[in-house]
Structure 1
Amino acid sequence: MERIAVYGAGTIGSCQATLIIGNGLPCTVIGHSERGLERCRKSIEQNWDDLIAEGLATEGNKQAAMALVTITNDPAALQEHTFVFEAVAEGTEEKRAVYETIEQNAAPNVVIASCTSSIDAEILAGLVSHPERLLIAHPFQPVHMLPLVEVVRHEKTAEDTVTRTLALLETLHRQVVVLNRSVPGFLVNRFAQALFRESIYLIEQGVTTAADIDRAVKYAVGMRYASIGLLEYFDAVGYELESAIAKNVYPDLCGTRELQQLVLDGLATGKTGQAAGQGLYDWSQKDADDFRRRKQSPYFAGVKEWAMPDVK
Structure 2
Amino acid sequence: MTVISNVAVIGAGTMGARIAAVMARAGFNVRLWSRSAQTLHQAQAIVESLGVSASVLYSNVLEECLAGADMVSENVAEEMALKQSLLQSIEHQVAPHCLLTTNTSSVSITGLASALKDPTRLIGMHWFNPADTMPMIEIVRSEQTAEAICQQVRALCERLGKETITVNQDIPGFIINRLQYAMLREALYLVSAGIGSVEDVDRAVQRTLAPRWAAMGPMKLMDFAGLDTVEKVAGILLPALDNSSVLPPWLKETIAERKLGVKSGEGFYPWPGDSALQAMQHRDAIVKSLTGRGEDDE
1:237 aligns with 2:240: no
Q: How far is the alpha carbon of 1:303 from its aligned partner? A: 5.0
Match of 1:260 in 2: 248
* Counterpart pick for 1:203 among 187, 191, 203: 191
* Counterpart pick for 1:282 among 270, 284, 298: 270
Which is worse superposed, 273-282 or 142-151?
A: 273-282
1:14 aligns with 2:17: yes
Q: How far is the alpha carbon of 1:299 from its aligned partner? A: 3.7
1:302 aligns with 2:265: no
Q: Distance in 2 between matches of 1:32 and 1:286?
A: 28
Q: Distance in 2 between matches of 1:216 and 1:285?
A: 27
Match of 2:87 in 1: 99
User: What is the TM-score normalised by the length of structure 1?
Assistant: 0.88
Amino acid at match of 1:66: S
The 1:291/1:152 distance shift into structure 2, 3 A limit, reads: same
1:76 aligns with 2:64: yes
Please give the secondary structure, in 2, of the residue aligned with 1:302.
Answer: coil
Match of 1:44 in 2: 47
Q: Distance in 1 between matches of 2:180 and 2:244?
A: 15
Contact 1:9-1:37 at 8 Å conserved across structures:
yes
Match of 1:137 in 2: 125
**Backbone CA RMSD of aligned residues:** 1.8
Q: How far is the alpha carbon of 1:44 from its aligned partner? A: 1.3
User: What is the TM-score normalised by the length of structure 2?
Assistant: 0.91
Q: How far is the alpha carbon of 1:298 from its aligned partner? A: 2.8
Q: Identity of paired residues, percent?
A: 29
The 1:171/1:303 distance shift into structure 2, 3 A limit, reads: farther
The 1:183/1:13 distance shift into structure 2, 3 A limit, reads: same
Which blocks of at least 5 consecutive residues in structure 1 are unaligned? 49-61
Please give the secondary structure, in 1, of the residue aligned with 2:293.
Answer: helix
Q: Distance in 2 between matches of 1:290 and 1:34?
A: 27
Match of 1:55 in 2: none
Please give the secondary structure, in 1, of the residue aligned with 2:259.
Answer: coil
Q: How far is the alpha carbon of 1:284 from its aligned partner? A: 3.0
Match of 1:56 in 2: none
Please give the secondary structure, in 2, of the residue aligned with 1:67.
Answer: helix
Listed one character per residue, the Cα deviations across residues 41-100 of structure 1 (whole Å, up to 9, x for unaligned) are 012123x2xxxxxxxxxxxxx2xx322111112223322211111111222232223223
Please give the secondary structure, in 1, of the residue aligned with 2:243.
Answer: coil
Listed one character per residue, the Cα deviations across residues 127-150 of structure 1 (whole Å, up to 9, x for unaligned) are 212111101011110011101111
Contact 2:30-2:56 at 8 Å conserved across structures:
yes
Amino acid at match of 1:68: S
Equivalenced residues, count: 291
Please give the secondary structure, in 2, of the residue aligned with 1:284.
Answer: coil
Q: How far is the alpha carbon of 1:271 from its aligned partner? A: 2.8
Q: Distance in 2 between matches of 1:121 and 1:253?
A: 30
Contact 2:143-2:170 at 8 Å conserved across structures:
no
Q: How far is the alpha carbon of 1:269 from its aligned partner? A: 3.0
Which is worse superposed, 101-110 or 32-41?
A: 101-110
Which blocks of at least 5 consecutive residues in structure 2 are unaligned? none
